[in-house]
Amino acid sequence: MTINVSLGKVQINPEAAFVFPQSRCCNCGTTSGISTQTQDTKVTRYFMLAGTELTFSLPLPVCSGCSKSLVRRVPTLFHKFLVLAAFTAAVFLLLIVALSQISSAVPVLTDHLFISSLGISLVLVFLLYWLRRPTGQQTSYYQPVRIRKLDREFVSGAVKKIGFAFTNPLYLKDFSQANTQALQAGRVSATKSS
């Protein structure tokens, strides 16, 4: 049985409040042609088998060339596994159809249909993610600002501590300078993300 819970708006304690300086594009670092756009960052917490998902709408400075990256979530290992499973199933079916069309069967493929499908899919999935690379000065193909840590109050659910990771080192510096107090108090943290 699952119960859906709407978390609504989550309070952020004043000492853990943070600002995003609108100084440069948070992905490529350019200072020209930037605008503020919302990046929806999901944080999922698991308790036993159930998970709660919180979405933070972060107002980030971004240039037109990088705006698409704000909607590309960083794929998790589980997500990649699902993609691999879907590819394997598709290749498996295609191989069955293809092999039934060929009169001279390819012994290696017919004898090891599943392993062959998995092997082909591994190469395809690797290529797919390899192609998703940042271009030019971009530091990430995916969302350039991530939430790595989140501490919430037990009863109210208010955010006590939050930790961000940035793919752009210059924007990390700008963020750290704009949030010195909260950083020194240990309520907000900022690190470099790969």
Binding site for Zn ion (CB under 5 A): 25, 27-28, 63, 66
What is the smallest separation between the CB atom of 188 and Zn ion, expressed in angstroms?
24
Q: Which is nearer to Zn ion, 63 or 95 (CB)?
A: 63
- The token pair at 170 is 């210059």
What is the smallest separation between the CB atom of 66 and Zn ion, expressed in angstroms?
3
Among residues 119, 115, 166, which one has the least CA distance to residue 145?
A: 166
What is the smallest separation between the CB atom of 24 and Zn ion, expressed in angstroms?
8
What is the smallest separation between the CB atom of 68 and Zn ion, expressed in angstroms?
10
Q: Which is nearer to Zn ion, 28 or 159 (CB)?
A: 28
Contact 62, 26 (CB under 8 A): yes
Contact 44, 51 (CB under 8 A): yes
Among residues 31, 100, 18, which one has the least CA distance to residue 62?
A: 31
- The token pair at 18 is 């943070």
Q: Which is nearer to Zn ion, 25 or 95 (CB)?
A: 25
Q: Which is nearer to Zn ion, 63 or 188 (CB)?
A: 63
What is the smallest separation between the CB atom of 116 and Zn ion, expressed in angstroms?
42
3-state secondary structure 122-175: HHHHHHHHHHCCCCCCCCCCCCCEEEEEEEECCCCCCEEEEEEEECCHHHHHHH
Q: Which is nearer to Zn ion, 36 or 156 (CB)?
A: 36
What's the chain's Rg over C-alpha atoms? Answer: 22
